[in-house]
Amino acid sequence: QVHLVESGGGLVQPGGSLRLSCAASGSFFSITAMGWYRQAPGKQREMVATISSGDATNYADSVKGRFTISRVNAKRTVYLQMNSLKPEDTAAYYCNSLVQAKDNRNWGQGTQVTVSS
């Protein structure tokens, strides 16, 4: 069982930056593919960025060039660096393994990102 805790969200102005962190704890057999997801009120959760066990990354078109996902394996932490934030980035952000996300399992509380002037 892996526990995930997101942090780093807040209120920022358009064009600003935030760095989200996802701290994992529990039992691990190996590093797995992880992703950041976001959900706005009344909307479905969408995948924002993923990082493979070998640290290959992919991004949604809406955030490509602005967001960067990374992982420090020794610290069991996944990051999402968000630059040039836009109001449409406003959402609750969650991290999860890709496998658990497909089964709609293991979601944490998320961290709220609000982009507004």
Which pLDDT band holds residue 96 (cuts at 50, 70, 90)?
very high
- Residue whose pair of structure tokens reads 């609000």 in the numeric block: 114
Per-residue pLDDT tens over the stretch 15-26: 999 999 999 887
Helices vs. strands in the chain: H and E counts, helices first: 1, 10
Whose CA is closest to 28, among 113, 109, 97?
97
Per-residue pLDDT tens over the stretch 31-83: 689 999 999 999 999 999 999 988 999 999 999 999 999 998 766 899 999 99
Residues whose CB is less than 8 angstroms from the CB of residue 18 and which lie 6 or more positions away in sequence, other chains included: 8, 9, 10, 12, 82, 85, 113
Whose CA is closest to 4, among 46, 36, 40, 43?
36
Q: What is the DSSP string of 56-83?
A: -EEE-TTTTTTEEEEEEGGGTEEEEEE-
Distance from chain centroid for Cα 83: 14
